[in-house]
A and B are shown apart, each in its own frame.
Chain A
Amino acid sequence: MSSQTLPRVRPASSATRWYRRAAGALAFAALIELLSRTGLADPEFLPPASEIVGRAVLLLLDPAFRGHALTSLLAWAIGLSIAALLAVPLGLLLGSVPVVDAAMRSVVEFLRPIPSVALIPLVALVIGTGLQHRVALVVYASLWPLLYNTMYGLRGVDPLAKESLRAYGFGPLAVLLRVSLPASAPFIATGLRLAAGVALILTVSTEIVAGRGEGIGVFVFFAGIAVPARMTDILAGVFWVGLFGVAVNALLVAAERRAFRWHHAQWGERP
């Protein structure tokens, strides 16, 4: 059977996809509302969705909460930027110089499986619990997806593309920067998107474990140890973290679509 006789599923338009996503989120909120209002779930532990979102909106008007949010945002952004600035050059080095790769491999393979959350207390002991604490852990955790995607991208670079430039007398460094780097850029961008999510997790968990200073995690921590626990505050804080994660992801996906049209065209995907 030729592929032409197969029914072709038409991809949904961008507006349709947004409607579907919004419908999914609304259905989820409705479920929480229902569970809470009917008493199926104890409203002490699961307040109705309308109350969570209402509280979340009110929190925006609270300067103290805005301070928490800005502090977290700063740690996230600094950590992610440092990770990218370290991981991409390191990935280029490991991916293009086999000797360095062989020498570093055992170190990388040893460090990678260590859950970064397990390092939170240790790092706190060494460098304290301020901004540097969060940044250090965010850098460590978001390094891996960036490093691995850079190396993976480099491995996939077409040897003929490199040879094409080499044939005009360009040296190894020029080939790395002018061919290998742009050719792996779509993979590095995916690594950045994964790292952005990991960085968010680490920012908030480090703040919760540290339990002092400023940050959304600290806000959530104090709402949790209050007696009785302020469940609506906890979930309202979590709501903002989740929404931020979704927004960053959507932004990065849109940026990738724009910047890597050539990549999608080459692989026959919808641009």
Chain B
Amino acid sequence: MLEIDNLSHVYGGGTPNEHHAIDGLNLSVAEGELLCIVGPSGCGKSTLLRSIAGLIQPTGGQVKVEGEVVRQTPDNLAVVFQDYSRSLFPWMSVADNVALPLRRKNMDKKQRREAAAEALESVGLENAGRKYPFQLSGGMQQRVAIARALAYRPTLMLMDEPFGSVDAQTREDLEDLVLQVRGHHQMTIVLITHDIDESVYVGDRVVVLSKAPANVVGDLKVDLPAPRDQITTREHSDFVHLRAEVGRLVRGHATV
């Protein structure tokens, strides 16, 4: 599904401010997998995500999505950013926000509106379509951003610290929302986070990145029983063991 081959990215190459964000990173993600990428702040996670999405051209190596080298944004890819208040368009109603990307698909106005309504329903916002983003709480706005991604029916959904700007309760709700919607849609999800517990709770697999320049320092399979539950999963002995393992890797005390 997703193949990252010897990926490197240097900002300001040749200048005194040269910054190596990623250095020779290899990673492959299978179809239908929910991969969490976790790493210390400023380790190049967002650069990695932008390279996958074709928003920046990496200075070295390549990214392949569904077998094709990414040169511009691949079709059937959706991104959910951390900052929902900046990523939603404040001048449009919620329904229009969700329907806008569908202009890229061969859909008429009616189909777009129906798809948007359906996506809003799947995130529990069936009555918010006519509202404007600023009339919604932060958690609801992020649900809108997720609905916008779902309506697009991506085969690959990238999420860049999607729950970093909401309170703890909302965060747990949104984590469960992601687990729930992935059951209904056939898609591969790459979720970037700096929250160790979250990566283990949500992911099928957790990849730990080093400090910049980013490289893979750990790759763990998460074999927790489904469906996951905020209380019982988090007290499961495998969960406790895994989060400790990931924690050590993130802090650089690798034992694997």
Nearest-neighbor residue (CB-CB) of A262 within chain B: B90
A170 contacts the other chain (CB 8 A)? yes
A204 to B202, CA, bound (A): 69
Residue numbers in B under 8 Å from A158 (CB-CB) = 86
Q: In the complex, are the beta carbons of B87 and A161 less than 8 A apart?
A: yes
Q: In the complex, are the beta carbons of B77 and A263 less than 8 A apart?
A: no
Known A160-B83, A179-B89, A266-B134: A167·B104 in contact at CB below 8 Å: no
B37 contacts the other chain (CB 8 A)? no
Q: How many residues of B are in contact with the other chain, CB < 8 A?
A: 26
A169 contacts the other chain (CB 8 A)? yes
Residue numbers in B under 8 Å from A160 (CB-CB) = 81, 83, 86-87
A90 to B104, CA, bound (A): 27
Q: In the complex, are the beta carbons of A167 and B55 less than 8 A apart?
A: yes
> Which DSSP category, helix, strand, loop or mixed, fits chain A's interface?
helix
B239 contacts the other chain (CB 8 A)? no
Residue numbers in B under 8 Å from A168 (CB-CB) = 73, 78, 100-101, 104, 152
B41 contacts the other chain (CB 8 A)? no
Nearest-neighbor residue (CB-CB) of A271 within chain B: B134
A44 contacts the other chain (CB 8 A)? no
Q: In the complex, are the beta carbons of B81 and A164 less than 8 A apart?
A: yes
0/1 per residue, B21-64, Cβ < 8 Å to A? 00000000000000000000000000000000101000000000
Q: In the complex, are the beta carbons of A169 and B134 less than 8 A apart?
A: no
0/1 per residue, A163-190, Cβ < 8 Å to B? 1111111100000001100110100000
B79 contacts the other chain (CB 8 A)? yes
Q: In the complex, are the beta carbons of B73 and A182 less than 8 A apart?
A: no
Nearest-neighbor residue (CB-CB) of A167 within chain B: B79
Residue numbers in B under 8 Å from A260 (CB-CB) = 91
B111 contacts the other chain (CB 8 A)? no
Residues of B whose CB lies within 8 Å of any CB of A are: 53, 55, 72-75, 77-79, 81, 83, 85-91, 100-101, 104, 132-135, 152
Residues of A whose CB lies within 8 Å of any CB of B are: 158, 160-161, 163-170, 178-179, 182-183, 185, 260-263, 265-266
